[in-house]
Amino acid sequence: MYNDLKGKVAIITGGASGIGRATAIRYAKEGVHVVINYHSREDEANKLIDIIKALGVDALAIQADTTNKNEMEHLMNATIQHFGAFHIMVNNAGIQSDIPSHTMSIEDFDKVINVNLRGTFIGCQLALNHFMERKFKGSIINISSVHEIIPWPHYAHYSASKGGVKLMTQSLALEYARVQIRVNNIAPGSINTPINAENFKTQEDKHDADMFVPMGYVAEPDEIANVAAFLASSESKYITGQTIVADGGLSLYPSHRNFEYDELLDEFTDKI
């Protein structure tokens, strides 16, 4: 538990599902009041509000498309009207699509860049202004991906967007370090969320995905929420401009693994 988080207010974009939802629940357990931004999942957002309130903190669900600055301003204003201020901004909303690059339309490319990069910038900019006006040592947490470093065929738009988030985060962190506003990334590996529904459709697909990860399993989203709690808390107050990679070793060139050695190690661990 991070005691300094108690009573703070966090906005989480794309908060009604997957990593955003898990982060909202983790923050609520830390005593953080949570604003859930949703795009189309109104029912899930409202159900989550009930879960969060049952944990003893206040919560609000607000619809906004993160690519639209006016809608994002509405999200901030509604938050400020209800809670007075906010201290933590989690830019989590993201999309992906599997398209060979030679057939990718410019519309497909723009759509992913818009949500993953432009939407993240809009969230960062609004949070920076709010924190500076109030002289808050706020924390901005962007959810990038291991594909900010690992190339991904068929996902050129996605990997470009996440690579962009990485350098944007570093640039903003340097720009606002003097006023103690921290900007960091979390780069998840393979996480069991709706964005991967297609990739983990069959038990075999899921098993293959588990086996591809050096630690032997696709993680549940609460493993990313744990990092989001750390980065929001003052325990990480000297960390800015960093990406914390949470991927079970996926970014360690897993194709260089010798699977026979894995079997030799099996006797030293409980089966996952």
Give the three-state DSSP class for 86: coil
Q: Tokens at residue 133, please?
A: 């006006």
190: contact with ligand NAP by CB under 6 A: yes
Q: DSSP string spanning 15-82?
A: TTSHHHHHHHHHHHHTT-EEEEEESS-HHHHHHHHHHHHHTTS-EEEEE--TT-HHHHHHHHHHHHHH
Residue 87 · residue 136 · CB < 8 Å: yes
Residue 15 · residue 24 · CB < 8 Å: yes
- Out of 139, 145, 159, 169, the only residue in the binding site for ligand NAP (CB under 6 A) is 145
- Out of 11, 14, 60, 75, the only residue in the binding site for ligand NAP (CB under 6 A) is 14
Contacts to ligand NAP from residues 201-260, by CB under 6 A: none
The residue type of 10 is A
95: contact with ligand NAP by CB under 6 A: yes
Binding-site size, ligand NAP (CB under 6 A): 30
- Out of 125, 170, 180, 196, the only residue in the binding site for ligand NAP (CB under 6 A) is 196
Per-residue x/- mask for ligand NAP, residues 33 to 72, rule CB under 6 A?
-----xxxx-----------------------xxx-----
* Tally of CB atoms within 10 A around 78: 17
97: contact with ligand NAP by CB under 6 A: no
Q: Nearer Cβ to ligand NAP, position 16 or 232?
A: 16
From 27, 38, 155, 158, the catalytic residue: 158
Give the three-state DSSP class for 258: coil
115: contact with ligand NAP by CB under 6 A: yes
Residues β-bridged to residue 183: 140
Residues β-bridged to residue 33: 9
24: contact with ligand NAP by CB under 6 A: no
Q: For ligand NAP, which stretch binds (CB under 6 A), given 14-22, 129-137, 208-216, 261-269?
A: 14-22
Q: Nearer Cβ to ligand NAP, position 9 or 219?
A: 219
- Whether 158 is catalytic: yes
| Cα–Cα distance, 74 to 55 (Å, whole number) | 26
The residue type of 149 is I
Binding site for ligand NAP (CB under 6 A): 13-14, 16-20, 38-41, 65-67, 92-96, 115, 119, 143, 145, 188, 190-191, 193-196
Annotated catalytic sites, by residue? 158
